[in-house]
Amino acid sequence: MIREMIKMIYPKKPLFPPSWRMMICIPSSITEVEKRAVRDSAEQAGAKEVYLIHEPMAAALGIGIDVEEPVGNMIIDIGGGTTGITVIALAGIVCDQSIRIAGDEFTADIMEALRRYHSLLIGERTAEQIKIQIGAALKDLDNPPDDIPVNGRDLVTGIPKQIMVSYQEIAEALDKSIFKIEEAILKALETTPPELAGDIYRRGLYLTGGGALLRGLDKRLSQKIKLPVHIADDPLKSVVRGTGIALKNYDRYPFVMR
Ligand SMILES: Nc1ncnc2c1ncn2[C@@H]1O[C@H](COP(=O)(O)OP(=O)(O)OP(=O)(O)O)[C@@H](O)[C@H]1O
Ligand SMILES: [Mg+2]
């Protein structure tokens, strides 16, 4: 996979392959053996120097947080499989938790809701499209999206059918999963050292990952947790942007693993 990615940057094979310096972003729960495997793969793909960075740290850099400050920042990364809740201070990860509720679970919730309330069977791709088009965390949005038509198979008759779906219905379907994320954030705040928790209460928390794009999620979280919630500029790319920043400054940041 790494080789193919390099090919995307240099479609023509250079006569003398350059010596790559690679920065690879890894989940913070990774084991030493897995780290070794990541390094080996990179080296086999032609890397001369391999550096690793933990994903939440990369996300923080990508969001534009000054990670070296002696101040606590909380980053919530709602990805596909997992939601990571991480506190960062003084260029280190202070606490890090993750739950297996994120985008894929939202998609499954939508499939389940349409099956249960409309007897409509839809595929995962359709459900993800619905989530992206009208997915919401609140039932009273300021700028509500229009209802959309959804095609699927009627579970009773077995023939194709189309229904109109509103964002409120999707918000209802996602409620349970978002609630679990809220609970996890509250629990993480409880276990954060008091001084850092104070910083977080003052500055708020940062949302990133594809799930951060759910309409109204920032508002819902700030109502529930009672602190400001900021959404990263381009949440799907915070991690990769941060990894790029770390690559440019690979010798400067103490958290870059050699
Ligand atoms: N506009 C959107 N609204 C809601 N969800 C979205 C939107 N765009 C993408 N997603 C969802 O975001 C998820 C992907 O996010 P992201 O790229 O951050 O995950 P990942 O980093 O690949 O996963 P993980 O962090 O769990 O390894 C998918 O579930 C996708 O359906
Ligand atoms: Mg991710």
Strands laid side by side in the 92-99 sheet: 92-99, 83-89, 73-78, 205-208, 229-231
pLDDT band at 233 (very low <50, low <70, confident <90, very high): very high
What are the φ/ψ torsions at residue 147 (nearest 5 degrees)?
Answer: -60, 150
**Ligand 1 contact, 211 CB (< 6 A):** yes
Q: For ligand 1, what atom is nearest to the CA of residue 235?
A: 18
Residue with the bigger pLDDT between 16 and 118: it is 118
How far is residue 88's CA from residue 71's CA, in Å, rounded to a whole number? 8
Residue owning the nearest CA to atom 8 of ligand 1: 210
Q: Does the beta carbon of 79 lie inside 6 Å of ligand 1?
A: yes
Share the mean pLDDT of the chain. 95
d(Cα 102, Cα 99) in Å, to the nearest integer? 8
Backbone φ and ψ for 156, nearest 5 degrees, come out as -85, -50
Domain boundaries defined on the chain: 103-175
Please tell me the CATH code under which domain 103-175 is placed.
3.90.640.10
Given a contact cutoff of 8 angstroms between Cβ atoms, the answer to whether 109 and 178 are in contact is: no
Structure tokens at 243: 């990894």
pLDDT of res. 128: 98
More reliable by pLDDT, 30 or 104: 104
pLDDT digits (tens, 9 = 90+) for 113-141: 999 999 999 999 999 999 999 999 999 99
pTM over 0.75: yes
236 Cβ closer than 6 Å to some ligand 1 atom: yes
Residue to mutate, 98, 207, 213, ligand 1, most ligand atoms under 8 Å from C-beta:
213
Provide φ and ψ at 72, rounded to 5°. -80, 140
Ligand 2 centroid, distance to 154 Cα (angstroms): 35
Contact assessment for residue 101 and residue 64, using Cβ atoms and an 8 Å cutoff: no
Mean pLDDT of all residues in 161-166: 97
Residue 29: what pLDDT?
86
- 78: CA distance to ligand 1 center in Å? 7
* Helix, strand, or coil (residue 25): strand
135 lines ligand 1 (CB under 6 A): yes
